Amino acid sequence: MEDVANQVFSTLGDKPGFQLAQIRFVAMREENLSYRNGLPFNCANLRESGTGVRVRVDNSWGFAATDSMERQDVIDTALRAFKVAKASAQVSRKPSVELAPEPIYKDSYSVRIDKDPFDIDIKDKMELLRDANQATRDASEHIRMAISNYRSRDTRVHFFSSEGSVIDQRLMFTGGSMQAVAISGAETQTRNLQNFKSRGWEAWEEFDPIATAATSGEEATILATKAEKCPSGKSTFILEPYQLGLTIHESCGHPSELDRVLGYEADFAGTSWLTPEKLNNLQYGNDKINITQNPAMEDVLGHFKYDDEGVQARSVPIVKNGIFVGYQSDREHAAMLGLDRSSGNSKSDGFDSVPIIRMNNMFLEADTSDEGFADIDALVEDTRDGIYGLQWKSHSIDDKRLNFQFATQIGYKIENGEITTPLKNVTYQAITPEFWGACSGLTRTSKIYGLPYCGKGSPNMQIGYVSHGGPWGRFEDVNVGITG
Amino acid sequence: MEKNELYEEAKRLLEICRKLGAEHAQVMISGLYNVGTRFGENHITQNVGRKRLNIQIRTQLGQKIGNYAGSKLGENAEQELQNTMTLTKLSADDVEFPGFLQEQPRYPEMTDRYAEVEPEELSAVIGQIVETARGVDSRLETVAGNLNWMSNRTWLLNTHGLEAYNESSTLSGVINVAARENGESRSTLNYGSGSLATLPAEQKAREVAETAVRGLHPKEIDAGKYETILMPGAATALMNFVAFGSSSQGLVNHSSFLKDKLGEQIMDPRISIKDDTLNPDHLAARRFDSDGVPTPEITYIDNGVLKDYAYNLRNAKKLGVDSNGRNFTGFQGEMPMFFSPHVTTGSKDLDTIISEVDDGVVITNLFYNNFVNAPEGLCTGLTRDGLFRIEKGEITHSLKNMRWTDSILSIFGSAEPARDATQVKGFFFGSAITPPIRTDSFNFSSKGKH
């Protein structure tokens, strides 16, 4: 591959206006197995391999891709990328911008894989899924739909840059979801428990699919048969790490992506209220709020050592003691803002996708001070009345990421420091800085979950793999129980 | 790849499946040619040219099924399909699998078209869009958007002898314009077309720029129910929910708000919606679905009455009906849906409808819409890029954005389409053709901040 890459660089290097070329040879395999109501359902293998070439010419980008790694196909694709970049230069940015600098790397890296999932006998996988599916169905006679899913993806990326970087990475994720639909009379309720990690088969074992499947069935039954309607009004509201992570994803993750901030996502995802003059000047939340992005953290979904521009992943604070202090960027957008280095967030979802700014692992820091609560039990005990919401059901937020409204799958009343009645259709709505400014307690314990579905990019949307979470958090005077 | 090369490759893959022990197999192979150009802040920011194959193979052994999805297989085909056959053999019986079509259907007539454009051609159009939009008013500062050319040649073959071919070329795009004067006003417009020659780029650029200027200096309104005119972009966003609700997947999964409502009056009698699958201007136009079943035009909301759901072979078998050819298959599974809705127009033009509203609003676009609770059809989202007040039959000023939370069936329960329809590029499906629609009541649940 290196030989082919060098031939591409020498072919393009003499062309007028050529500045930079990045080549990714990508080979990906995935296994996706499911059981639905006792039957195997949509069990599939996925294989994708090809080459993506990104070229910078006259300060404009061009990208071309082919589902081949053969020498001549790659050279032809590189020439195509050059032609595309020339076309971009017809409507180019003025004034032009240099890319933020990054050291040259020659490295090989793999995420930690104790047991290769693709070496596990498929028969064993199917039997485990069948048993998990049965565990959901055994929860009660109210279970009308049980879906048990397992996924593992193995991606090998060889990256070459005309600047000199040569990086070989093996990235993997493994996990699944256990979904139950329960019906009682006119009430239909769903519970879906899932998790994914940048690990091998051991991540699936940790997920404990049979026990998790049983829990999904039991809690769906509670929702359909016993849960009360969520009350409407202002309430103290506690979120567990999964749903807190979703709230971070939408209200902090997306608005701190620098392409959105600078107007380059306006046609699809929107813009951002975190405009450049607010950097280091905005009270994003109160002083309990510390939000960090760190794709270098091992094991979590979205983990990598180098992004798709060859920038080394690192921890970057986004909110520190309540103050907004950082953006997620790539090399070009970092330079536009005058930052001295990219945060390493440039990612694509396949060989034929162009790298764009993506969040990967963003989380709320636990409160390790004396004010922090030991765990969720201590936090609930300290709460006179309120609502405890768990896991994502629905989400919506405006194009600048200020007004959000989310629903959780299940909730519970908190009365006099105790969890009491289960609640269904729990919704909460808030304005981003008001919500994070109303945090009244975090635990010292925390947890991070993986979510393999984040859509961004246009005109062809890409799917990102992200991790989020943190401690259990309590927020005051939150609007809950939103109705039509 | 040319049409005949794709055909030969599909035949080769079927033969390999047979050789590896499959009783039957089905291959769908698509050759994709794509140029996708994105722009922001008045210049091109991303430009992508792709050529690749998309292959989906299903192998059958009794009632055991395995699936393959991916890119070009080449010389590795036998090894990769061996993995799929292993998956097939080790699977348990899937008694709900309906089998592959065993007879060659007669497909409806549709105009085929396939063409490839060069990136310079799209860049030239983008240059015109930026120049035209900014020229409308001195307060128009930045233009963003995208333009996407997609051409596909697709063969679907199975070992029972089924052969189906479709080819298409579509152009779709978005224009987003920002006007600034003591604040910012943005407007967005999605559009689609079958060719560069018929793309109304400059007209759309002017239209969206004018809306952005009208949106400057917005005022606030309170949350509550308002008589509302949904412009085509907003109406299309709500059609997504109707598409999900009318999918048989929601019947099987118990998640549809239209479950058990067949034959019922679910919308205003003035609302009729057909799935206009054979109209080549639609981004998802096709003559057969991913099962190989023909896709006739279907009116699924007829004068407000729910007449049909979107079926694939699997759900049709489970529910005891015939498939109507609405399947879409991806790596993550199957999803039958009406992908090309066309809302019947009404008798009054938009200006007349506005003149009849005493106190209401006009919504240009809706954003980040989602079910709050799918089985009851309760949804939420926000207005975006153009919310206006109507007072005594006239649009008087722009408004700050609002969050809406409402039932889809309530919104369309008393609704009146206008006379002139527009094609709008959709999000989860191809595209919709819809006029503006007035509804008696649309519920805003909270205020936005901009």
Among left, alpha and beta (phi > 0; psi -120 to 50; other), residue B74 is left
Kindly tell me the burial class for residue B303, based on how many C-beta atoms sit within 10 Å of its own C-beta (0-12, 13-18, 19 or more): middle
Token pair 């799917």: residue: A463
Distances (CA, A) of B91 to A38, A229, B66: 12, 41, 8
CA A415 to chain centre: 34
Note whether B148 contacts A43, CB cutoff 8 Å. Answer: no
Bridge partners (DSSP) of residue A195 are A176
| A24 φ/ψ angles, rounded to the nearest 5 degrees | -120, 120
Report residue B428's pLDDT band, with 50, 70 and 90 as the boundaries: low
Query: From the list A87, A190, A265, which residue is nearest B47 (CB)?
Result: A87
The pLDDT of residue B179 is 97
Size of interface A-B (CB pairs under 8 A): 286
B385 touches chain A (CB under 8 A): yes
The pLDDT of residue A328 is 98
Over the stretch B172-231, which tens digit does the pLDDT of each residue have?
A: 999 999 999 999 999 999 888 878 888 889 999 999 999 999 999 999 999 999 999 999
Interacting residues of A229 by C-beta distance below 8 A, sequence separation 6+? A423, A424, A425, A481
Report residue B75's pLDDT band, with 50, 70 and 90 as the boundaries: confident
Interacting residues of A135 by C-beta distance below 8 A, sequence separation 6+? A210, A211, A213, A214, A217
The Cα B360–Cα B29 span in angstroms is: 50
Query: From the list A45, A84, A264, which residue is nearest B49 (CB)?
Result: A84
* Mean pLDDT over each residue of chain B, to the nearest integer: 94
Give the domains, in start order, of chain B with CATH numbers: 3-212 (3.30.2290.10), 218-447 (no CATH)
Note whether B446 contacts A429, CB cutoff 8 Å. Answer: yes
Note whether A396 contacts B368, CB cutoff 8 Å. Answer: yes
Over the stretch A63-96, which tens digit does the pLDDT of each residue have?
A: 999 999 999 999 999 999 999 999 999 999 888 8
Report residue A344's pLDDT band, with 50, 70 and 90 as the boundaries: very high
The pLDDT of residue A448 is 98
| Coil, strand or helix at A368 | coil
The pLDDT of residue B110 is 87
First to last CA, chain A: 58
In order, the DSSP letters of B98-117 are: -----S-PPPPP--------
Pick the closest to residue A246 from A453, A103, A23 (CA basis): A453
Q: How many CB atoms lie within 10 A of CB B79?
A: 10
The Cα A134–Cα A138 span in angstroms is: 6
Q: Which residues of B217-246 are buried (b: 16+ CB within 10 A; e: fewer)?
A: ebeeeeeeebbbbbbbbbbbbbbbbbbbbb
The pLDDT of residue A291 is 98
The pLDDT of residue B90 is 84
| Cα four-point dihedral sign A215, A218, A224, A229 | negative
* Mean pLDDT over each residue of chain A, to the nearest integer: 97
A42-46, A174-178, A443-447: segment of lowest average pLDDT: A42-46
Tokens describing residue A348:
């694509």
Min Cα–Cα distance to chain A from B167, Å: 19
Chain B interface disruption, residue of A130, A221, A264, A267, most B CBs within 10 A:
A267
- What percent of chain B clears pLDDT 90, i.e. is strictly above it? 86
The pLDDT of residue B163 is 98
Report residue B427's pLDDT band, with 50, 70 and 90 as the boundaries: low
Sort out which chain A residues have CB atoms less than 8 A from B94's CB and list them. 39-41
The interface residues of chain B toward chain A in range 213-272, judged by CB-CB distance below 8 A, are 252-255
Query: From the list A67, A130, A267, which residue is nearest B92 (CB)?
Result: A130
Bridge partners (DSSP) of residue B44 are B39
B384 touches chain A (CB under 8 A): yes
Over the stretch A191-202, which tens digit does the pLDDT of each residue have?
A: 999 999 999 999
Does CATH number 3.40.470.10 belong to domain A2-226?
A: no
Judged against a pLDDT cut of 90, whether residue B422 lies above it is answered with no
Report residue A117's pLDDT band, with 50, 70 and 90 as the boundaries: very high
The predicted model gives A188-216 an average pLDDT of: 97
Note whether A130 contacts B173, CB cutoff 8 Å. Answer: no
Residue of B nearest to A68 (CA): B72
Query: From the list A64, A403, A484, which residue is nearest B382 (CB)?
Result: A403
- Please give the helix or strand (H or E) that residue B353 lies within, else none: helix B350-355
Domain boundaries, chain A: 2-226, 229-480
The pLDDT of residue B91 is 85
User: Is there a contact between B168 and B151 (Cβ–Cβ < 8 Å)?
Assistant: yes
The predicted model gives A451-467 an average pLDDT of: 93
Judged against a pLDDT cut of 70, whether residue B254 lies above it is answered with yes
The predicted model gives B395-409 an average pLDDT of: 97
Sort out which chain B residues have CB atoms less than 8 A from A262's CB and list them. 40-41
Report residue A41's pLDDT band, with 50, 70 and 90 as the boundaries: confident
The Cα B85–Cα A41 span in angstroms is: 15
Q: Which residues of A216-241 are buried (b: 16+ CB within 10 A; e: fewer)?
A: bbbbbbbbbbebeebeeeebbbbbbb
User: Is there a contact between B362 and B390 (Cβ–Cβ < 8 Å)?
Assistant: yes
Parallel, antiparallel, or unpaired: how do β-strands B402-407 and B378-391 relate?
antiparallel
The predicted model gives B279-305 an average pLDDT of: 94
Interacting residues of A278 by C-beta distance below 8 A, sequence separation 6+? A324
Bridge partners (DSSP) of residue A405 are A396, A429
Parallel, antiparallel, or unpaired: how do β-strands A228-229 and A323-324 relate?
unpaired
Residue of B nearest to A433 (CA): B449
Token pair 């999904």: residue: A216
The interface residues of chain B toward chain A in range 106-135, judged by CB-CB distance below 8 A, are 118-120, 122-124, 126-127, 130
Interacting residues of A318 by C-beta distance below 8 A, sequence separation 6+? A252, A256, A291, A292, A293, A324, A325, A326, A327, A328, A362
Note whether B380 contacts A122, CB cutoff 8 Å. Answer: no
The pLDDT of residue A398 is 95
B19 touches chain A (CB under 8 A): no
Min Cα–Cα distance to chain B from A264, Å: 5
Among left, alpha and beta (phi > 0; psi -120 to 50; other), residue A224 is alpha
Min Cα–Cα distance to chain B from A369, Å: 34
Residue of B nearest to A333 (CA): B45
In degrees, to the nearest 5, what angle opens at C-alpha A454 toward C-alphas A81 and B185? 80
The pLDDT of residue A346 is 98
Residue of A nearest to B334 (CA): A42
Between helix B77-90 and helix B3-19 the angle, nearest 10°, is 50
The interface residues of chain B toward chain A in range 398-427, judged by CB-CB distance below 8 A, are 401, 403, 405-407, 410
The predicted model gives B54-61 an average pLDDT of: 96
> Can you list the positions of beta strands (E) in A162-231?
166-184, 187-197, 228-229
